[in-house]
A and B are shown apart, each in its own frame.
Chain A
């Protein structure tokens, strides 16, 4: 579904991603772990070209994204939902409007249909009663669930998560992870950067360990967590587990 060939990314002289080759398949749930500053976010953001790769290629559903025209890129981005650590909800829009604005304005979905879909998605993430609430009046956990619903409203083929629970108070982490688990069970293709090792163990099909701009080791959760081969993986896991 997404193929990454020789991806490199530098900020000035700082080489953040060093020749990454990887492939994400239909229906797969992949969790990316690694120390702070290792390039996880940058990697994820390169997948939908929020960061422009310095070199290499991202191929999404057979189309190379790099070098695409603005308009075609926008259309392909509609199929790649993204959830941010800081939620990034639109504060001047209600929960429901957050879900309808992009489908209506950039996909041309009709308003009634978008509203109907929005209600259904908010229901699905347990916020059926918050349609008219503004983000400022929602808790962090609720905001992040709206953000997930917002990405789903575009009916994406893949969902990218960048540390979706890191900014939350501990008592709210569970409700967001629950929504993500449900999503995984429904067969959604997911790439998740997270420090929630429990979630990785339970839900992931595959775990990637990144360090210093490279994918150092990968395997099933079983292999990575119980039997890490690389020294740096062992070191990292000993600190977080």
Chain B
């Protein structure tokens, strides 16, 4: 009982700690640089679906995030005398991850808009950019300016600078999606007529796809909107200064051009084999490693969530069946709360909230969130199963002198398990499918890898199809396995 209370108080402290942490950040002005040098590592957040700035490529047989931004990050880490660590997170989640201290800085071709400046600080602009319009090749005669796109359907990445620019197109019907690959697919399949894209990124895509055409858009740009900069938590001026020094060195030496050239080579390399000859590899053989890695992580998350979910679920179910003071309401409150809030928010909450206190890797945070979530559902299934066992079974056990625990363990629980087996199976299948939500915090599970493949292969539909087949294979084998065990439990 006492332990429970202490746990509850710790939780309260943690929650209030969330409110405190940003203030601490402001107070530690001057020490930010020191802190990173003490830690010996600079954690950079990025969103690796944005060639040529950041994207995946195979380097020396190993898959890594590469691109101009990454080379800049390497330069900065070198100058600071620390190791570089890259965290690949969805673009939407980058600034929350920064504020929650999951990463030290964000380098993601990000434009320092006035709106963003309200929540974070920015370095000097390290890359002057231009904003493009992307259209289907067959439309290039018709659409050649903002005015020519009047009243058309325009796609933009949500939360991006381009979302704002699209409003300069008169009467445009704007479609905002998180994922650039989805937008490109929408363009190819005539769902939209044009996209607003960051210049070099648009050129990278159009260069790989003859069906697309891109040109510099005649947008009115504010000074701030014309380039990319590095984002910092507010008040970490010492770090900003140090980084700006590196950036001005890069500008003096005109290194960005060199970086872009290297990035271009990586992009071309995707289609070349080791001898430098162009080859037509099949889609699967080029990208199967992404799917394999994604599947393994999905399996790891699902298996852990099933295991911990079962342990937690059993515990909660027993708590709900207990008569002791406070125990039942506590379990009930937990279950109701978890079932009453979306998994997406739980995943983000655990990842970002934990980032304020200690550094929890995204995968661990994801496993914890999915386990805590499935625990609540499994608890209800188990409770139902226990209640479904005839009370005569407990009476018979007790009349033989078994303790309550023994009766539960040897007599009631095994029978409950048999009754709830189909419902548990459903829950396990749900876990496999829902574990994909952890992709929002940058865990490289199957959906995440699918997104990566879509962005580097410039293919919209095929990766989706492959992923669908993999999920089906997983859930179908699980169903078969569960049926097998159900058969072996059947004594009727």
Binds B, one of A69-77, A115-123, A220-228: A69-77
Measured between alpha carbons, how far is A70 from B401 in the docked complex, in Å? 10
* B2 close to A (CB within 8 Å): no
Given A101-B410, A106-B406, A136-B491 in contact, is the A90-B396 Cβ separation under 8 Å? yes
- Residues of A with C-beta under 8 A to B410: 101, 105
**In the complex, what residues of B have CB within 8 A of residue A34's CB?**
none
Q: Chain A contacts of B418 at CB under 8 A?
A: 92
Q: Give the chain B neighbours of A91 by CB distance below 8 A.
A: 415, 491-492
Q: Is there contact, CB below 8 Å, between A78 and B400?
A: yes
Which chain A positions have C-beta within 8 A of B396?
A: 82, 84, 88-90, 147
**Cα A89 to Cα B492 with chains together (Å):** 13
* Docked pose: A234 CA to B126 CA in angstroms: 107
| Interface residue range, chain A | 20 to 34
Specify which of A50, A71, A150 is in contact with B398 (CB 8 Å cutoff).
Answer: A50
CB <8 Å contact, B399 and A50: yes
Q: Give the contacts of A87-122 with B (CB-CB under 8 A).
A: 88-92, 101-102, 105-107
Contact A106 B492 (CB under 8 A): no
Q: Is A199 an interface residue (CB 8 A)?
A: no
- Which of these, A86, A92, A151, contacts B400 with CB under 8 Å? A151
A residues in contact with B397, CB < 8 Å: 90, 102
* Cβ of B190 under 8 Å from chain A: no
Residue of B nearest to A73 (CB): B401
| A213 interface hit (Cβ, 8 Å) | no
Which residues 31-73 of A sit at the B interface, judged by CB distance below 8 A?
48, 50, 70-71
Q: Which of B390, B399, B489 contacts A81 (CB 8 A)?
A: B399
Question: Measured between alpha carbons, how far is A151 from B410 in the docked complex, in Å?
Answer: 17
Complex CA–CA separation, A74 to B403 (angstroms): 6
Name B404's closest neighbour in chain A (CB-CB).
A70
Shortest beta-carbon distance from A229 to chain B in Å = 35
Cβ-closest chain B residue relative to A48: B399
A204 within 8 A of B: no
A71 to B405, CA, bound (A): 11
Q: Which chain B residues have a beta carbon within 8 Å of chain A's beta carbons? A: 390, 392-393, 395-404, 406, 410-411, 414-415, 418, 489, 491-492
Q: Known pairs A90-B393, A90-B397, A101-B411; list 13 more (Cβ under 8 Å).
A: A48-B399, A74-B401, A77-B401, A82-B396, A84-B396, A88-B392, A90-B415, A92-B415, A92-B491, A105-B406, A134-B492, A150-B400, A154-B401
Q: What are the 9 A-B residue pairs with the smallest beta carbon separation, nearest first?
A: A78-B401, A102-B400, A88-B396, A82-B399, A88-B392, A134-B491, A77-B401, A136-B492, A106-B402
Sample (11) of A-B pairs whose CB atoms are under 8 Å apart: A74-B402, A82-B396, A88-B393, A90-B393, A91-B415, A91-B491, A102-B402, A105-B402, A106-B400, A136-B491, A154-B400
